[in-house]
Amino acid sequence: MVTPVLPKSLDSPVQPIKPLNPPLMMAKQVHPPKSQYPLVQTVASIQISKPLNSSSASCGSGTVGSLDSPVQPWKSLDSPLMMAEQVQPPKSQDSLVQMVASMQLSKPLDSSSASTGSGAVGSDLGAAPFDICMGNSKGIFKLNRPLHEINKEKRLRERELSNSAAPPQRLRPGMVLLKNFLKLDDQVEIIKLCRELGVGTGGFYQPGYREGGKLSLRMMCLGKNWDPDSRSYGDIRPFDGAQPPQMPQELTKFVEEAIKASHDFLKQRGKGATEPSVELPQMSPDICIVNFYTTGGKLGLHQDKDEDESSLEKRLPVVSFSLGDTAEFLYGDDRDVDKASKIKLESGDVLIFGGQSRLIFHGVSGIMPKSAPLMVTDKANLRPGRLNLTFRQHKYEP
């Protein structure tokens, strides 16, 4: 009988070969084919590998092996069944498979809201609300500037505003522009408040029309929902049944201060000018449309005439806050871009139009990238773009 030569053990010297007389004993001594050894070596190398400063490597819901425990010696392969059990991948490899699967299936945050062109965010019931700020989104890393740089810019900004602050402007009867009216800290407060409301129920979404067109902005309504398709106000959003958030008192306070400042400015003009309360009637805001324009956002010429008839008859004004990047604002008596007047609305500007100018055509022809005050973007983490709040009084009550 020919004596078989057995392969060496991975960890021990060659043992003397005993004569194989009984057939059963010969069957016990048979080793797995050499082609299986690389797999055993691979499994062994996975078990003994240990990353620096780590006792275990955890990923997802599974842990990749126990890296502190010593390598256990391989048991002798006494039967074909045990041989099959020994060459099976250990449970640690299942975790590796799960890790790869989770990496392939993971979906970036806000992927449904990344596009402002063709994404049907408003009609997607599963879409997460759009976040106007960057610091609270996973996967987005932003290095904050040192505090002394921020404070230095703040002082320079305040000095510039105090030395060369543009005075209020009466653009036309019933239309007043308050330049730099909102202080930097107030702007940050408003942005954070809008962000908090915007990621909740009834928050920011991309509005669209029944035929499939989409507005190149994100919108949130306060007080009542405005539907661009039906051009009417209601208590809920038609596509998801969400109720709009209520108007915060902090915002109402800023609006009242802006109207008072416009009246004070009109009084100072004097010289037979129209009574300020007639040119710009007093208004108590109960609704607001909050729009966020990305750097490519636009809004065509339109009129704000969907409020209650009692409000329109009294010509109660619209009060507009601009935050973030500068916008090129168009306005005029006709829906004609070529005939429209143009002004730049910068972060902190407040525009008020009512009285004779209540139904002017107006729109946004473009956004100027990287024009927002760094003080505002750093402290509020506002995304690149423009945040615009337009306050109105839906119904006039004497």
Distance CA 251, CA 259 (A): 13
Q: What is the mean pLDDT of each run of 10 residues along the chain (398 residues)?
A: 51 52 46 48 43 40 41 42 40 42 38 36 61 67 64 64 74 97 96 97 90 88 94 94 96 97 91 80 97 95 97 97 98 97 97 98 97 92 97 94
Note the Cα 292 to chain centre separation in Å. Answer: 11
394 appears as a binding residue in the annotation = no
3-class state of residue 372 by DSSP: coil
Judge whether 124 is annotated as a binding position.
no
Separation CA 390–CA 149 (nearest Å) = 33
Tell me the C-alpha distance between 318 and 329, whole Å.
15
What is the Rg, in whole angstroms, of the alpha carbon atoms belonging to the chain? 34
- C-alpha distance from residue 143 to each of 135, 260, 381, 384 (Å): 10, 40, 11, 15
Q: Starting at the edge strand that comes first in sequence, how are the strands of the sheet with 169-172 ordered?
A: 169-172, 175-178, 350-353, 318-324, 386-392, 287-293, 218-222
Range 230-235 contact pairs with CB under 8 angstroms and sequence separation of 24 or more: 231/306, 232/306, 233/287, 233/306, 233/307, 233/394
d(CA 310, CA 336): 28
* pTM listed for this prediction: 0.66
Is 148 annotated for ligand binding?
Answer: no
Distance from C-alpha of 194 to C-alpha of 215, rounded to nearest angstrom: 20
Per DSSP, 239 falls in state T
CA 178 vs CA 152, 182, 272, 344: distances in Å: 25, 9, 22, 12
| Length of the chain, in residues | 398
Helix (H, G, I), strand (E, B) or coil at 360: coil
Alpha-carbon span 374 to 28, nearest angstrom: 77
The pLDDT, as a whole number, for residue 208 is 83
Q: Going by C-beta distance under 8 Å and a sequence separation of 6 or more, which residues neighbour residue 133?
A: 191, 192, 195, 380, 381, 382, 383
